[in-house]
Homo-oligomer: A and B are copies of this chain.
Amino acid sequence: MSYLIVVDLGGTKIRAALAEAGGRITAARTLPTQAGRGAAAVLLTLKEALAALLEEARCPWSEVAGVGVCVAGFYNKEKDIMVCSPNLPGWDGLPLKAKLEESLKLPVAVENDASAAAYGEYCYGAGRGQENLLLLTLGTGIGGGLVLNGKLFGGSRGFAGEIGHIPMLSGGPLCRCGRHGCLEALASGTAIALKGRELYAAGTPTLLRQLKDEAAALRAEDVFAAASLGDGPARQIIDTASFYLGRALAVAANILNPGIILLGGGMAAQGDQFLAAIRRSFAAAVSPPIAEGLEIRLAELGNDAGIYGMLALLVESCFPGGAICL
């Protein structure tokens, strides 16, 4: 019983890793989720991938002490139900922990993916030494995770940190969650791409027309690229997104008084100009006593943050007092 399995179950990819009791990852693999196949098929694929991982490491299932899974979406830990999972369509209502325990015959712990990533950054990344941190993951959607007093904070049902869905603009654009004006509908990669396509389709003179042959092919990266080349309309889209991101972080900081704020996810890597604009908007909106000494920095662990966070949680629960070495 000296191995652990950790899984990051995303809408596009599944990342799985096998670790020794001390936390050292000995084998890992990434596979496509193909979420459209439905939960049963995805969980079967996951089991097969884990079996292959164990075989590769010559580790029998009986040597695995526990499995930690982090997943995109609102997962109710109290009741073991996927309440709302925009990236895993059709999974709503699924008792994920029970299904996995039945399939794998091992104890399973489930967390939200951004929460696990926040804990990963706290233990091994840009949040080391900060007892109170907020991580925002900026990608297709916007996720958030909280470490408070050195512990992962989930709130009363594991939903804490849902900063992507805080209402930022009354009557604003429709969000995937069904509400209007959520941060995610104003500042996610999806929102930025949509705004770019609208510009393109409206015939606005913009470099975006040179980057892609048709509006539908535009992605958030294209809008960032055009903006960095000095394209005014694209710049405006990025400025609007930065404005709302900075204000949302100011709101969260006023409520939490964190020691550090970390930005992760693919969009966080879009350059200094973007980060600087977020910081300016943040500074203009946050209460000065809260702002003092509070840095907004890039996360460090990239796509591995969730895996490392789940691993740390699993080591703590399966081997209390055990040392973690990565």
Contact = CB atoms under 8 A, between A and B. Distances in A.
A225 interface: no
A290 interface: yes
Given A250-B166, A252-B255, A289 B156 contact: no
A24 to B, nearest CB: 30
A151 B154 CA distance: 14
Q: Give chain A's interface residue range (CB within 8 Å of chain B).
A: 35 or more
A161 B253 CA distance: 9
A294 B159 CA distance: 12
Contacts of A156: 130-132, 257-259, 294
B179 A254 contact: no
Interface string A109-132: 000000000000000000000111
A166 B257 contact: no
Contacts of A148: 148, 153, 155
A224 interface: no
Given A165-B287, A287-B177, A289-B76, A149 B153 contact: yes
A259 B159 CA distance: 11
B256 A155 contact: yes
B257 A159 contact: yes
B76 A161 contact: no
Interface string A123-151: 00000001110000000000010101101
Nearest to A250: B167
A210 interface: no
A285 B157 contact: no
A93 to B, nearest CB: 12
5 contacts: A157-B257, A159-B290, A163-B254, A166-B255, A252-B255
